[in-house]
Amino acid sequence: MTVDLSVTIGNLKLANPVMPASGTFGYGQEYAGLIDLNDLGAIVSKAVSPAPRPGNKPPRMVELKGALLNSIGLQNPGIEGFIEKKIPFLRQFKPPVVVNVVGNSIEEYRQVVEALDAIDRVDGFEINLSCPNVQKGLEFGTTVDGVARITRELRSATKKDLWMKLTPTVPNPGDLGKAAEGEGADALVAINTIGGMTIDAESRRPVLGARFGGVSGPAIKAVALKYVWLLYESVKIPIIGVGGIFNGVDAMEFILAGATAIQVGTANFVNPTAMPDVISQMADWLEEHGESTLQPLIGEAHRTQGAALSIKNH
């Protein structure tokens, strides 16, 4: 059986639903010698801010049980460095390129979007509203009014795809999702890392140079699945699920919970071929279960749950 993994997100047609989580894949150059970037559904870049950022002081990463704690601090070359050093490389590849955007104010986000809107190799923007390891900015990502305001402002700055990456630090993300959808977002990304820290008992000090960081990996998968589930019940635009995806079955769980596509993050550090592996394993899963396309499976767990409850009540 030939299976079709293609999905549509806003104006973008993806050959498959698998892409890197921003910050775990650089700008693609770091992995280009290990995998064929043309195999990916999309390429999501590391963050871009108006001016270069040096990032946080080291140590920046710590392995935990079932998780990774990082505090990179959104290190990046800024708009000019991205255009000069990264765009020529990205022009070699076919998948859509979505640029992760950060700033300390809505005006800074708009500056990045406006500057990159004219670049033909940039197909969309992922707006980072929820990074837990920087000290300034991003507060507006935790309120309905804040999410609505930044989405409205950036929607007026570009006709390209606009993905809003939501915070995992609210009890129910549905209201934030509705706010973004109502102001013209093309998709939602859930979730970002969860804020955390670790302490070295011998030195009696925090291990990370910046004290706090973002927790990612298998330890947050259950949280991410819940958020995707809740968003699917609240919005009609596509959801991109991310958090602890290491294999094709993990990815299918997110699809069944309501995600149209998924991002692979921490797994890339453990296994550089994680994304091609996930693509292949998703295709195998569909074939083994007699499914030829992915679309009917998006959110299916909601429908099968409803059917089970109906049977039980009768």
pLDDT along the chain (314 residues), means of 10: 94 98 94 97 97 90 92 92 97 97 93 97 94 53 91 97 93 94 98 93 94 94 97 98 98 98 96 98 98 97 72 48
Q: Is residue 213 part of a domain?
A: no
Q: Is residue 238 part of a domain?
A: yes
Quote the pLDDT of residue 55. Answer: 86
Quote the pLDDT of residue 138. Answer: 55
Q: Is residue 111 part of a domain?
A: yes
Q: Is residue 169 part of a domain?
A: yes
Q: Is residue 255 part of a domain?
A: yes
| Matching residue, tokens 């890392």 | 193
Q: Which helix (H) or strand (E) holds 215?
A: strand 213-216
C-alpha distances (whole Å) from 137 to each of 39, 102, 133, 196 are 35, 9, 11, 18
CATH number at residue 80: 3.20.20.70
Q: Is residue 34 part of a domain?
A: yes
Number of structural domains in the chain: 1
Structural domain boundaries enclosing 130: 7-55+73-194+222-313
Q: Is residue 81 part of a domain?
A: yes
Residue of 43, 90, 98, 131 marked active site: 131
Distance between CA atoms of residues 298 and 285, nearest Å: 14
Identify the bridge partners of residue 48 per DSSP, sorted by sequence position.
101
Query: Annotated catalytic, 131?
Result: yes
Distance of CA 278 to the CA centre of its chain: 16
Per DSSP, the three-state class of 61 is strand
- What does pTM read for this prediction? 0.94
Q: Is residue 66 part of a domain?
A: no
Closest C-alpha to 247, from 227, 267, 222, 269? 267
